[in-house]
A and B are shown apart, each in its own frame.
Chain A
Amino acid sequence: MPDASPVAAPFALPRAGILPFRRPADAVWGLGLAAVLGAVLLPIATVLAHLFVPTGDLWAHLASTVLPRYVANTLWLIAGVGALTLIGGVGTAWLVSLCRFPGRRFFSWALLLPFAMPAYVIAYTYTGLLDFAGPVQTGLRDLFGWTGADYPAPNIRSLPGAIAMLSLVLYPYVYLLSRSAFLEQSICSLEVSRTLGCTPAQAMWRVALPLARPSIVAGMALALLEALNEFGAMQHFGVDTFTTGIFRVWLADGSPAAAAKLASVFLIFVFAILVLERRSRGRAAFHNLSIRYRPLPGWRLTGWRAALAVAFCATPVIFGFAAPAAALAWWTWLSAAEVVDSDFVRLAFTSVGLAGSAALITVAAAVFLAYAARRSASRLFRGLTRLAALGYAVPGAVLAVGIVIPFAALDEWINSLGADVFGLSPGLIFSGTVFALLFAYAVRFLAISYGAIDSGLSRVTGHMDDAARTLGASATGVVRRIHAPMLRPSIAAAGLLIFVDVLKELPATLLLRPFGIDTLALRTYEFATDEQLVEAAPSALAIVLAGVLPVILLSRAMRRSSEPREAEKIAPIAARRS
C-alpha cells in the first residue's frame, strides 16, 4: 500500500496561511495557473499541430528547395556559435575567476558589456565598418596605397560572418554561468586536487571544468537558443535560417499555415537543444557540499602569460562592445541632426510604453506563479509552474506565428458572430493589436521574471513567515511587512531585464506590430534594410545604452556576491533552470 505522502494532494496546504487564503481559495490559484500555462502553451501547441496540417504545394515546394539550406545553415550556426562561445566564455571565465593578472577586476564586469549589444545592431555596425567604403577598408587602402583589386576582402555578410557576430554578443551567457560555477566551487575541492598532485592547469581540466560542466552547457544552450532566434542579423547577412524562412513564407508567400509548418520543424531543433542540455547534465546535478566560500587563491600570471590573458579577455570586450559602440556614437553624431526629430521622440515613447507595459504584465504573472509554487507542497504543481518558463526557448518568430493563427481565428469567429447576431463587426480585437504583441512578450519573457522572483522569494524562508506570524502579524501583514520589502529588489531587477529585452526584441515585434506602431528596434531595422546604416545609429545606440543598465545591475550583484548565487538572481536564465 502506498504510504500517505504529504505530496499526494496537489493543493495540500501544510502551513496555516503564508497568505490570507485557505483551502477554498486554492481553486483560484489553480485557475490562475491554468490560465498562465494555457497562455504559454497555446502558441507552442498551435505551431506543433501544424506539423500535421497539410499545406499543399507550397510546403512541398519549400521542402524540396529551401528547407535543406535552412537545416544546413542552422546546423552550421549551432556548431560555429557553440564552439566560439564555449572557447570564449569558458576561457574568459576561467581567467577572471581562477587566475590573477593585471586588469582582472575590470574584465570581470567588462566582459558582460557585449550583452548590451543586440546581434542585429552589431551586424549592421560591422557591415558599415567593413564594407568597401567603410573606415577599415578605406584606411587600409590609404595606408598601403592599394586599390580595390589588390587585396581579398573577407565578406562579413556571410555565414561565417554571422557566426562571428552572434558569438561576440552571446558568449556572455557562457561566461556568466561558468564564472559563477567556478566561483561556487568549494575551495576545498580545488585545494584537494592540488594536494593530490595537480598543477593549476591540471586542476582546471580535471576538477574545475568537469564540476562546471552543467553550468557551461546551460550557458551554451541559452546562447544557441538566442542564435536560432536571431532574425535581423541573418536577414541582413543574407543567411537563410528558419527564422528568416518563417518571415519569407508568411509575408512574401502569404501563408501563415506554411509558416507555422516551417516553425514546427524549427521547434524540433529547439527542443533538441533543450533535451541535449538536460541529457548532458544527466545525474550530475552538482551541489556544493562545502559552505566555505573564500576568495579562490588564483594562479598568478606574469610575463607573456599575463599579456596573453589580457589579450584574450580584451578581444571580446573590444570587438563585442567598445568598437561597435564607438562607431554607433560617431554615426549618431553625424546623423542625429537629421534623424532625431519629434518623430524619433514619439517612437522612443512608444518603445518605452510597450516595454514598460510588458514588464508590468510579465512581472505580475511571475509573482503569481512564484506564490502559487510556494504555496503548494505538490511536486507536480511546482513542475507545472516551471513549464510556464518554456516560452523563453521558443524563438520570437515561431511565437508570433503561434499567436497570430489562433487569435485571427478568434477574431474571425467573434466578427461573424457579431455580424450574425448584432449586425456589426467589432474588427480585430486580438490579432493585429497591441494585445497580441504584449501577449507575445509576456510568453517569451515570463521565464526571466519568474527566475528572478522565484529566487528572490526563496530567500524568504518559511521560518521567517512563521516568526512574523507568532510576533503578531496577520497573513496580509506578513506579505506587506516581510515579503514586499524583501522582494522589491528582485521585482525591480526582473522588470528592468524585461524592459530592456522588449526594447531589443525584433522578430516578434516585426511580425505582430499593429498598424502604425513604430519602435526603436523597428526603426533601426528599417534604416538598416535600406542600407542607411549611419541613419540607423541613433536608435541603435539608444537600445545599446538601455542594454547597459542590466549589465551594471549584474556586475554590481557580482561584486557584492559573497554568495555567488546572487549573480544568478538576475541572470536571465540560470535561476530558471536550476
Chain B
Amino acid sequence: MRLVAGLEAIQHGRIAIGGRTVGAAPGPDLPPEQRNVGFLFQDYALFPHLSAADNIGFGLQHLGAAERRNRVGEVLERVGVSALADAYPHTLSGGQQQRIALARALAPSPGMLLLDEPLSGLDARLRHGLADTLLTVLRETGTTAVVVTHDPEEAMYVADRIGVMRDGRLMQFGPPGAVYGRPESPFVANFLSDTNRLSGTVGGAGAIDTGWGPVDAGDLPAGAAVQILVRYEGVGFAGDGAVRARVLRSRPIGGDALIALETTGRPGETLYARAPAARAPHEGDCVAVTLDPAHVFVFPSANAK
C-alpha cells in the first residue's frame, strides 16, 4: 500500500494506476503528491493544528477559497459530520476522527483510495455504521479502493475481490465467494474462518478415514499423508450420521453455540462445531456427526504449516 502511494521506494517491478505507470524499478518513481491517491491511515493522522474543515481542505490548495469551502462542505456532508467542521481533532471521538480522515482523503477526488485497517480502531457497534458509510461513499463516487485488514468478515463485507497475503506473498486472489468456497491453501482456509485441523492418510478408493466420517480425497494419490481442515460450521448433527460423538461442552455465544465434541474412535481429539444455539446439543449428549463437504478442505501434508 505504501508502495502504491509512493511513500516507499519501489525495488522491483512496476506499479500502474488506471494504466498509468506511477512507479517502476528501474524507471520513473513518481513522488506521492503526483499520484492522485488518497490514503486513510489506521491512526487517522489528522493534523492537530488544523480544524476539521482545514484538514479536509489541505489537499485542495489548487482551488480558490470559495470553491474549497464548497468542496469541504460537500465531503463533510457525504460522510455525515457536517456539524464538526470547526472542531479540532483532539476534541473528536475515534469514529468522528475516522470520518474526517475519510473526508480528507476523498476531498481531492483521488483516482484510488488506500485504506489501512480503516475499521480496526473502533468498537464493534461503530464498525458496521462506518463500513456502510465507506461502501456508500465509494459507490457514489466510483472510487477504486484498496483495503488492508486482518478481519476476514470485514474483508468479505466490503470487498469485490480479496487477496490473501502471507509474509508479503499473495496466496490467493479472487471474489470473496470463490476465496471462501475454494481456498487453495490451508492458510487461506484457516484465515477466513475458524477451522478444525485433522490429519490422515488417503486410503483406497480416494477416501480418507478421519475418524469423523470419510472425506473425499479428490485427486490425491492413495497413501498420501494429508491434512484436513473442517470449518466449525461444517460439522452437522443431522440425524443418521454414522459417527457418534459425545458433547464435552456446549456454550452459547450470542445466536450460535460453540460445541466441543469427542468421538469414541479418537480419544483425546476434540472437534469444535458451531451451530445455532436453538438447535445445539447439550453437554453430555451423544450425537451423530456429519461433515459437510462444502466446508471440508483437504491438502497434502507437505503443504502443512
C-alpha gap A14/B7 in the complex (Å): 9
Q: A16-B7, A470-B35, A472-B33 are in contact. Are A481 and B45 (CB under 8 A)?
A: no
Q: CB distance B39 to A470 under 8 Å?
A: yes
Q: Which A residues are CB-close (under 8 A) to B48?
A: 459, 486
B28 CB, nearest partner CB in chain A, Å: 13
Task: Give a binary string over B21-40; 1 marks a CB under 8 Å from any A CB, 0 the rest.
Answer: 00000000101110101110
How many Å from the CB of A459 to the closest CB on chain B? Answer: 7
27 contacts between A and B (CB under 8 A): A15-B7, A16-B7, A16-B9, A459-B48, A461-B43, A464-B45, A464-B47, A466-B2, A466-B5, A466-B41, A467-B47, A467-B105, A468-B47, A469-B32, A470-B5, A470-B32, A471-B38, A471-B104, A471-B108, A472-B33, A472-B61, A472-B62, A472-B108, A473-B58, A474-B33, A481-B58, A486-B47
Cα-based distance from A459 to B105 in the complex (angstroms): 21
User: In the assembled complex, how far is the CB of residue A448 from the closest CB belonging to chain B, in whole angstroms?
Assistant: 24
Of chain A, the residue at the smallest CB distance from B113 is: A470
Task: Tell whether A39 is near chain B: CB-to-CB under 8 Å.
Answer: no
Tell me whether B41 and A17 are in contact (CB under 8 A): no
10 smallest CB-CB distances across A and B, nearest first, come from A471-B59, A463-B45, A469-B32, A470-B39, A463-B41, A467-B45, A472-B33, A464-B45, A485-B49, A466-B7
In-complex Cβ contact of A14 among B8, B47, B58, B101 (8 A):
B8
Given A470-B7, A471-B58, A472-B108, do A463 and B43 touch, yes or no (CB 8 Å)?
yes
Complex: A224 Cα to B300 Cα, angstroms:
69
| Secondary structure type dominating chain B contacts | loop
Query: Could you tell me the distance in whole angstroms from the C-beta of B273 to the nearest C-beta in chain A?
Result: 37
Q: Does B6 lie within 8 Å of A16, measured CB to CB?
A: yes
Q: Give Cα A174–Cα B9 distance, bound, in whole angstroms.
A: 47
Q: Flag whether A482 is at the interface (Cβ < 8 A).
A: yes
Q: In the complex, which residues of chain A have a beta carbon less than 8 angstroms from the beta carbon of B45?
A: 461, 463-464, 466-467
A346 to B138, CA, bound (A): 68
Task: Tell me which residues across on chain B come within 8 A of A468, comparing CB atoms.
Answer: 47, 58
- Closest B residue to A464 using CB positions: B45
A340 to B49, CA, bound (A): 44
| Closest chain B residue, CB of each to CB of A469 | B32
Restricting to A439-472, which residues have a CB under 8 Å from any CB of B? 459, 461, 463-464, 466-472
The residue of chain A having its C-beta at the shortest distance from the C-beta of B50 within the complex is A485
Interface residues of A in 471-512 (CB under 8 A from B): 471-475, 477, 481-482, 485-486
Main secondary structure of the interface of A (DSSP, over half): helix
Residue in B2, B5, B38, B49 whose CB lies within 8 Å of A486: B49
Q: A16-B8, A16-B31, A470-B6 are in contact. List 8 more A-B contacts (CB 8 A).
A: A14-B8, A459-B48, A464-B45, A466-B7, A470-B38, A471-B33, A473-B61, A474-B31
Judge whether B59 and A472 touch: CB under 8 Å: yes
Q: Which residues of A contact B62 (CB under 8 A)?
A: 472
Contact A15 B108 (CB under 8 A): no
* Bound form: Cα–Cα A283–B41 in Å: 34
> Which has the most chain A C-beta neighbours within 10 Å: B37, B39, B42?
B39
Q: List the A side residues contacting B35 at CB < 8 Å.
A: 470
User: A residues engaging B (CB < 8 A)?
Assistant: 14-17, 459, 461, 463-464, 466-475, 477, 481-482, 485-486
B residues lining the A interface (CB < 8 Å): 2, 5-9, 29, 31-33, 35, 37-39, 41-43, 45, 47-49, 58-59, 61-62, 101, 104-105, 108, 110, 114
A474, B37: Cα distance in complex, Å: 14
Instruction: State A473–B9 Cα separation when bound (angstroms).
Output: 18
B31 in contact with A17 (CB, 8 Å): yes
- Shortest CB-to-CB span from B5 to chain A, Å, is 5
Knowing A461-B45, A486-B48, A486-B49, the reply to whether A473 touches B7 (Cβ < 8 A) is: no
Residue in A closest to B29 when the chains form the complex, CB atoms: A16
Decide: A473 near B33, CB < 8 A? Known: A16-B9, A463-B41, A481-B58: yes
Docked Cα-Cα span, A208 to B111, in Å, equals 54
Q: Shortest distance in angstroms between A304's beta carbon and chain B's nearest beta carbon?
A: 42
A466 touches B49 (CB 8 A): no
From residue A549, how far is it (CB to closest CB) to chain B in Å? 23
Residue from the list A467, A482, A486 in contact with B39, Cβ < 8 A: A467
The smallest C-beta distance from A559 to any residue of chain B, in angstroms, reads: 16
Q: Among the interface residues B2, B41, B62, which one has the most CB atoms of the partner chain A within 10 A? A: B41
A42 to B39, CA, bound (A): 47
- Contacts of B6 on A, CB cut-off 8 Å? 16, 469-470
Q: B33 and A469: CB pair below 8 A?
A: yes
Contact check, A466 vs B43: say whether CB atoms are below 8 A apart. Answer: no
Contacts of A469 in B (CB 8 A): 5-7, 31-33
Instruction: Name A482's contact: one of B32, B47, B105 (CB within 8 Å).
Output: B47
Bound CA–CA A486/B90 (angstroms): 14
Q: Which residues of B contact A486 (CB under 8 A)?
A: 47-49
Given contacts A461-B43, A464-B45, contact A470 B33 (CB under 8 A): yes
Can you name the residue of chain B whose Cβ is closest to the Cβ of A475?
Answer: B31
Q: A15 to chain B: which residues have CB within 8 Å?
A: 7-8
User: What is the bound-complex CA distance between A110 and B90, given in angstroms?
Assistant: 29
Q: How far is the CB of B145 from chain A (nearest CB, A)?
A: 14
- How many angstroms between the C-alpha atoms of A15 and B37 in the bound complex? 17
B8 in contact with A467 (CB, 8 Å) = no
How far apart are the CA atoms of A16 and B104 in the complex, in Å?
A: 21
The smallest beta-carbon distance between A124 and chain B, in angstroms, is: 44
Do residues A16 and B32 form an inter-chain contact, with CB atoms below 8 A? yes
Name the CB-closest residue of B to A485: B49
Q: Chain A residues near B29 (CB, 8 Å)?
A: 16
CB neighbours (8 Å) of A485 from chain B are 49
Q: How far in angstroms is the closest Cβ of chain A from B97?
A: 12
**Alpha-carbon distance A459/B48, docked complex (angstroms):** 9
Q: A562's closest neighbor in chain B, by CB?
A: B90
B34 to chain A minimum Cβ distance, whole angstroms, is 8
CB distance from A569 to the nearest CB of B (A): 14
Q: When chains A and B are docked, how far (Å) is the Cα of A43 from the Cα of B110?
A: 55
* Given A471-B104, A474-B31, A474-B33, residue A466 in contact with residue B58 (CB < 8 A): no
Question: What is the minimal beta-carbon distance from A562 to any residue of chain B, in angstroms?
Answer: 9
CA distance A16 to B110 in the complex (A): 20
Closest residue to A15 on the B side, CB-wise?
B7
A474 to B59, CA, bound (A): 11
Q: Find the A residue at minimum CB distance from B61.
A: A472
Chain A residue nearest to B7 in the complex (CB)? A466
CB distance from B25 to the nearest CB of A (A): 13
- For A470, give its contact among B37, B43, B47, B49 (CB under 8 Å): B37
Smallest distance from the beta carbon of B104 to chain A beta carbons, Å? 7
- Select from chain A the residue with minimum beta-carbon distance to B30: A16
Q: Give complex CA distance A468, B104 in Å.
A: 10
Contact B33 A467 (CB under 8 A): no
Q: Which residues of B contact A481 (CB under 8 A)?
A: 58
Q: Distance (Å) between the CB of B101 and the closest chain A CB?
A: 8
Determine whether the beta carbon of B31 is less than 8 Å from that of A467. Answer: no
**Complex interface: chain A residues within 8 A of B7 (CB):** 15-16, 466, 469-470
CA distance A16 to B41 in the complex (A): 17
**A15 and B42 alpha carbons, distance in the complex (Å):** 17
CA distance A468 to B54 in the complex (A): 12
Closest to B37 in A: A470
| Chain B proximity of A46: nearest CB distance (Å) | 43
CA distance A481 to B50 in the complex (A): 10
Known contacts A472-B108, A473-B58: A467-B9 contact under CB 8 Å: no
On chain A, the residues within 8 Å of B31 by CB distance are 16-17, 469, 474-475
List the B residue with the shortest CB-CB distance to A17.
B31
